[in-house]
Each structure stands twice: as structure tokens, then as C-alpha cells.
């Protein structure tokens, strides 16, 4: 039973994480390679606040979101003035810098040793300390984030983002400051990634920098492209594929030593086929131009 709970919790956390890229890539048309960095900042900020300052989980999440959003401006404000590839490069640079700080600033993050013993979230005297209780928390968070994202993309703001994705020059001729909208969208993405990171840290209770590498960011772009982006359902399909495929491979009895490699190779293969034959992904709306 705990195994099923674990899978459902991971689906909840990853659906939040993937939506963080969806708002940036699917709605605004910006490929970001720093989502794993924001996820990591969220995880580390929450873990360190809870351990060092005894901050309650829910307050720690809020502070982590603020920190992550502020850091996201370092990437977005300089690079979103520039076109396409430069933005991708800036996010990539940021991802590597953050990973290297998590890995090397041993005094703060314990570097490669990671942070063990992260406490469980707590409300009043209720502790979300086992999978069945944590599932309630992660599900509430996942539903809430998906719902909020649905709301903000249904109003005019969401329409403007989609129009920027389709043709930025047209939107700017209507007097909209497209750069500002892109910066806001990117910071929302960063904040959502921080929520996913906070949940992840308190669920697994141990984090180290290897969960927040460039490869993780690249994998996220891959999965989102497979599931499809630019609506709410595509990323959920992506999440299910990401979490359920390894379980499926386990039933096929592929040896563990190569299962991880086979899994990534399958994602990569599906990604390329999707890009060639079905650009909007399995259930998405956004087609790269």
C-alpha cells in the first residue's frame, strides 16, 4: 500500500514541477533550462529554514517562493530583452551556477554530503510524517497549483502570454510590454518549481545536489514536450508517463543496472518521434514554431 502512496505522492510533486515549466514554455514559448535549479533552491531553502531556524513548513514554503522568485529575476531581467537562444543560454548558465553553489558552498549546503533529517511538515500538532498522511498534503498542493494555474491562464493575462508565444511583435504593437509579461511568467514558473522542491525535500527527508542537475532540467523539457504543453492536461499526461514508465519497466523485469538508461533512451526516442510527427505532444496545445 505504501508503494502505491509513494507513486501517487511522486505524481503530485512532479505534476507541480512540470507545471512550473509549462507556464514558461507551454504558455509563453520560452524554453527554460533552469527549472531544476529553482526546484533545488526551493528544496534547500525550505530544508535549511526548517532545520536551522525551526520555521514551520508552510511559512518556509512561502519564504522559499520569495527567494526563488527574486533569484529568477537575475536570469530573466537581463536575458529576456534578448531573443530566443540567448534566453536559453542564460537559463542554462544559471542552472550550472546554482548547481555548483549547492555542490561547493559546503558551509551552507554541506555540498555533496547533502542535508539529512529534514523534518516533516506540521500543522498545529498534526504531523505529515508517513506516506498516507503526506499523500493528503501533496494532493492538496497539486490540486491547488493546477487550479491556480488554470485560473491565471484563463484570464486575459493567460491570453496575452499565449499571444506572445505565437507572435511577440504583434502583441507589442498593441502597446503591451511583452518583456514584462515574460518576466512575470518566468517568475511564476520559478515560484511553482520552489513549491515542488519544498514538498520533495520534506517528503524524502534527505536532499543532495545530484537531484538538481542540468540533466534534470533537460529531462523536464523532454517530458513536457512528450506530454504536451500550453494547457493543463498535457503536463499531467507527461507526469504520468514520467512516473509510471519506470514502474512498467520493472514489471518487464529489465535488470536494475540498465533500467535507468533504458528509461531515458525511451523518453528520448519518443521525444524525437513526437517532434517529427506530433509537435503538440500527446495532449498539448503548444506547437513550437
Partner 1 sequence: MFIQLLVNGICSASLLAIAAIGFALVYNTTNYFHFAYGAIYTSAAYLIYWFYLILKLPLIISLLLTFLIVSLLSLSIEQIVYKPLEARYNSSVAILISSFGVYLFIINFIAMIAGNEVKILSPGIEKTFQFGSVIVTRIQLIGVFAFIIVLISYVLFLRTKSGLLLRGYSINPNLTIALGYNPHKIRYFIFIVSSILAAIASIISAFDVGFDPNIGSNVVLLSAVALIIGGVKIYESPILGAFIIGILQSIIIWQISARWVDTFVFLLLILFLLFKPTGILGKKLRVEEVR
Closest distance between partner 1 and the C-beta of residue 21, in Å?
Answer: 12
Nearer to partner 1, 155 or 276 (CB): 276
Report residue 157: phi and psi, to 5°: -55, -45
Q: From CA 244, how far away is CA 141, in angstroms rounded?
A: 20
Contact 33, 218 (CB under 8 A): yes
Closest distance between partner 1 and the C-beta of residue 157, in Å?
Answer: 23
Residues 6+ apart with CB under 8 A from 149: 19, 22, 23, 192, 232
Closest distance between partner 1 and the C-beta of residue 264, in Å?
Answer: 4
Report residue 136: phi and psi, to 5°: -60, -45
**Given the C-alpha cell 507526469, which residue does it identify?**
239
Residue 258 CA, chain-centre distance (Å), reads: 26
Nearer to partner 1, 131 or 281 (CB): 281
Closest distance between partner 1 and the C-beta of residue 125, in Å?
Answer: 43
Residue 183 CA, chain-centre distance (Å), reads: 17
Nearer to partner 1, 51 or 268 (CB): 268
Residues 6+ apart with CB under 8 A from 270: 226
Closest distance between partner 1 and the C-beta of residue 174, in Å?
Answer: 18
Binding site for partner 1 (CB under 8 A): 29, 31, 74-75, 78-79, 82-86, 88-90, 92-94, 96-97, 100-101, 103-104, 214-215, 218-219, 221-222, 225, 258, 260-262, 264-265, 267-269, 271-272, 275-276, 279, 288-289
Nearer to partner 1, 151 or 275 (CB): 275
- C-alpha dist (Å) from residue 227 to 72, 166, 168, 200: 25, 20, 25, 22
Written as one string, the DSSP assignment of 213-231 is SHHHHHHHHHHHHHH--SS
DSSP 8-state secondary structure symbol assigned to residue 207: B
Nearer to partner 1, 104 or 130 (CB): 104
Closest distance between partner 1 and the C-beta of residue 200, in Å?
Answer: 22
- C-alpha dist (Å) from residue 61 to 43, 45, 184, 272: 9, 8, 19, 36
Nearer to partner 1, 127 or 261 (CB): 261
Closest distance between partner 1 and the C-beta of residue 170, in Å?
Answer: 14
Contact 34, 217 (CB under 8 A): yes
Nearer to partner 1, 84 or 116 (CB): 84
Amino acid at each position: 500500500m505504501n508503494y502505491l502512496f509513494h507513486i501517487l505522492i511522486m505524481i503530485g510533486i512532479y505534476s507541480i514541477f512540470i507545471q512550473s515549466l509549462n507556464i514558461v514554455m507551454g504558455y509563453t514559448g520560452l524554453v527554460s533550462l533552469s527549472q531544476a535549479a529553482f526546484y533545488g533552491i526551493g528544496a534547500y531553502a525550505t530544508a535549511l529554514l526548517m532545520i536551522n531556524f525551526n520555521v514551520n513548513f508552510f511559512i518556509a514554503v512561502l519564504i522559499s517562493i520569495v527567494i526563488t522568485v527574486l533569484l529568477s529575476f537575475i536570469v530573466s531581467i537581463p536575458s529576456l530583452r534578448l531573443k530566443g537562444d540567448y534566453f536559453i543560454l542564460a537559463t542554462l548558465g544559471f542552472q550550472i551556477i546554482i548547481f555548483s553553489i549547492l555542490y561547493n558552498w559546503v558551509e551552507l549546503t554541506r555540498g555533496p554530503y547533502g542535508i539529512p533529517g529534514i523534518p516533516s511538515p506540521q500543522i498545529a500538532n498534526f504531523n505529515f510524517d508517513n506516506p498516507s498522511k503526506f499523500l493528503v498534503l501533496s494532493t492538496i498542493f497539486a490540486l491547488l497549483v493546477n487550479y491556480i494555474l488554470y485560473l491565471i491562464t484563463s484570464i486575459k493575462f493567460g491570453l496575452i502570454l499565449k499571444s506572445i508565444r505565437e507572435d511577440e511583435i504583434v502583441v507589442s504593437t498593441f502597446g503591451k510590454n511583452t518583456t514584462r509579461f515574460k518576466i512575470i511568467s518566468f517568475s511564476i514558473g520559478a515560484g511553482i518549481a520552489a513549491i515542488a522542491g519544498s514538498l520533495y525535500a520534506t517528503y524524502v527527508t534527505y536532499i543532495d545536489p545530484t537531484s538538481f542537475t542540468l540533466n534534470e532540467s533537460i529531462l523536464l523539457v523532454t517530458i513536457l514536450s512528450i506530454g504536451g504543453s500550453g494547457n493543463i492536461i498535457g503536463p499531467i499526461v507527461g507526469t504520468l508517463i514520467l512516473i509510471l514508465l519506470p514502474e512498467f519497466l520493472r514489471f518487464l523485469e529489465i535488470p536494475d543496472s540498465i533500467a535507468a538508461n533504458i528509461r531515458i533512451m525511451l523518453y528520448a526516442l519518443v521525444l524525437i518521434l513526437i517532434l517529427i510527427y506530433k509537435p503538440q505532444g500527446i495532449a498539448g496545445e503548444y506547437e513550437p514554431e
